[in-house]
Amino acid sequence: MLSESNDRVPTGAGIGLRLPHIAEIVATLPPVPWLEIHPENFLANPHATELLLAARRQYQVSVHTVGISIGSAHGIDRSHLKRVRSLIDMVDPFLVSGHLAWSTHAGEYLNDLLPLPYDDETLDLLEAHIDEVQEGLGRPYLVENPSSYVGFGASTISEVEFLSELVRRTGCQLLCDVSNVYLSAHNMDYDAHRYIDGLPADAVGELHLGGFAAEDDEAQPGGELLVDTHATIVAEPAWDLYAYAIRRFGRKPTLIEWDNDIPPLATLLAEAARADEIARATLSGRAHRAVAG
């Protein structure tokens, strides 16, 4: 099992370092404790990497991979893993994470994070792949719960049981995307609080919060599907669930995820400040509604 000291893990809320904001962040150094990057945005962009390294001199950084695809039946792309490792060695992040999903097939990179059946065969596959990723990156990997819209009839265990077993087998950690829990519970008709209760709390090293949108559910006339757009502010019920998650997991580095229709930097900073306020109020015993804006 890989382990590393977490004495430099920031407790406050961070924001994504997305390309439209990178020059502004380097120039203005906004008061936020950490930044998250998608390494794939920097691997072929030397100018952006230069700015990233300038930002890194001022901020802790978390690396969130979107192309490692631990769920691919064809295995891990080792050359991609090596490229990510090189960037990680330059940036020295406090965490590295990725999704419980697959997004590549036979060398083709797809634009979606696709779901997996939760059964013994997939567990064996993911165990081998997470071992390979942790070995290749030289550090623990945090696996993020996906946003779900459909399930597999072949699944034999729940997502929480699946993630817990991965933690047990590989020593990986978990990134709990609270918004994904909320919207998946809505879409898949399960209890979001029970999902949070079921995760192995000691393994949760980071939280995500992102905006989602309601769309008509074509499979269910009159029904509503929540879609993980990362294109708007965090919804009120997701803030409520965040307070619940903080009570269970304690204060963890929390990312405000916003990847589409990217707003002014000030909007992201305000969302991060709200996450900090809710965390402080929750842990000091006050109802977070008292500080919710």
Query: Which residues contact Fe ion by CB under 5 A?
Result: 177, 208
Least distance between Fe ion and beta carbon 257 (Å): 5
Give the nearer residue to Fe ion in terms of CB position, either 142 or 278: 142
In whole angstroms, give the CA distance from residue 38 to residue 16. Answer: 8
The answer to whether 247 and 233 are in contact (CB under 8 A) is: no
The DSSP string of 138-202 is TS--EEEPPP-S---TT--S-HHHHHHHHHHHH--EEEEEHHHHHHHHHHHT--HHHHHHHS-GG
Give the nearer residue to Fe ion in terms of CB position, either 170 or 254: 254
Least distance between Fe ion and beta carbon 46 (Å): 27
Give the nearer residue to Fe ion in terms of CB position, either 180 or 282: 180
The answer to whether 259 and 228 are in contact (CB under 8 A) is: no
Taking CB atoms, the residue at the shortest distance from Fe ion is 208
Give the nearer residue to Fe ion in terms of CB position, either 129 or 208: 208
Helices in the chain by DSSP H: which ranges? Answer: 22-28, 46-56, 78-91, 120-137, 159-170, 178-188, 192-198, 236-249, 265-283
Least distance between Fe ion and beta carbon 258 (Å): 11
Give the nearer residue to Fe ion in terms of CB position, either 16 or 140: 16
Neighbours of 3 (CB within 10 A): 9
Least distance between Fe ion and beta carbon 120 (Å): 27
Least distance between Fe ion and beta carbon 228 (Å): 8
Give the nearer residue to Fe ion in terms of CB position, either 177 or 240: 177
Least distance between Fe ion and beta carbon 65 (Å): 12
Residues 6+ apart with CB under 8 A from 122: 71, 116, 162
Q: How far is CA 214 from the centre of its chain?
A: 21
